[in-house]
Amino acid sequence: EIVLTQSPATLSLSPGERATLSCRASQSVGSYLAWYQQKPGQAPRLVIYDSSNRATGIPARFSGGGSGTDFTLTISSLEPEDFAVYYCQQGDNWPLTFGGGTKVEIK
Amino acid sequence: EVQLVQSGAEVKKPGESLKISCQTSGYTFSSYWIGWVRQMPGKGLEWMGIVYPGDSDTRYSPSFQGQVTISADRSSATAFLQWSSLKASDTAIFYCARLVSLGRAFYFDLWGRGTLVAVSS
Q: What is the pLDDT at residue B1?
A: 93
Taking 80 as the threshold, does the pLDDT of residue B103 lie above it? no
Q: What is the pLDDT at residue A63?
A: 98
**Nearest-CA distance B77 → chain A (Å):** 21
Give the mean pLDDT of B74-80.
97
Contact B109 A92 (CB under 8 A): no
Please name every residue paired with A48 in a beta bridge, in sequence order, or none if there are none: A35, A54
Residue pair A2/A93 in contact (Cβ under 8 Å)? The answer is yes
Of A20-29, A82-91, B36-45, B97-106, give the lowest mean pLDDT range: B97-106
The answer for residues whose C-beta is within 8 angstroms of residue B5's C-beta and 6 or more apart is: B22, B23, B24, B25, B112, B113
Taking 90 as the threshold, does the pLDDT of residue B19 lie above it? yes
Residue pair A73/A64 in contact (Cβ under 8 Å)? The answer is yes
CA distance B83 to B20: 9
Question: Which B residues, 43 through 82, put their C-beta within 8 Å of a C-beta on chain A?
Answer: 44-47, 59-63
Task: List, as one string, the DSSP characters of B42-73.
Answer: T--EEEEEEEETTTTEEEE-TTTTTT-EEEEE
Residue pair B19/B73 in contact (Cβ under 8 Å)? The answer is no
CA distance B47 to B62: 10
**Chain B contact for A44, CB < 8 A?**
yes
Write down the mean pLDDT value for chain B.
96
**Chain B contact for A50, CB < 8 A?**
yes
**Nearest-CA distance B75 → chain A (Å):** 26
Strand residues in A1-107 grouped as ranges (E): 4-7, 10-13, 19-25, 33-38, 45-49, 53-54, 62-67, 70-75, 85-90, 97-98, 102-106
Tell me, rounded to whole angstroms, the distance of Cα A94 from its chain centroid. Answer: 20
Q: What is the pLDDT at residue B2?
A: 94
CA distance A44 to B17: 27
Residue of B nearest to A85 (CA): B44
Q: What is the pLDDT at residue B104?
A: 81
The answer for residues whose C-beta is within 8 angstroms of residue A83's C-beta and 6 or more apart is: A104, A105, A106
CA distance A65 to A85: 18
Q: What is the pLDDT at residue B13?
A: 97
**Chain B contact for A94, CB < 8 A?**
yes
B105 chain-A contacts, CB cut-off 8 A: 30, 32, 34, 49-50, 91-92
- For chain A, the first-to-last Cα distance in angstroms comes to 35
Taking 90 as the threshold, does the pLDDT of residue B101 lie above it? no
Taking 80 as the threshold, does the pLDDT of residue B90 lie above it? yes
Mutate which of A3, A31, A49, A71 to disrupt the B interface (most B C-beta within 10 Å)? Answer: A49
A46 chain-B contacts, CB cut-off 8 A: 107-109
Q: What is the pLDDT at residue A92?
A: 87
Residues of chain A with pLDDT under 50: none
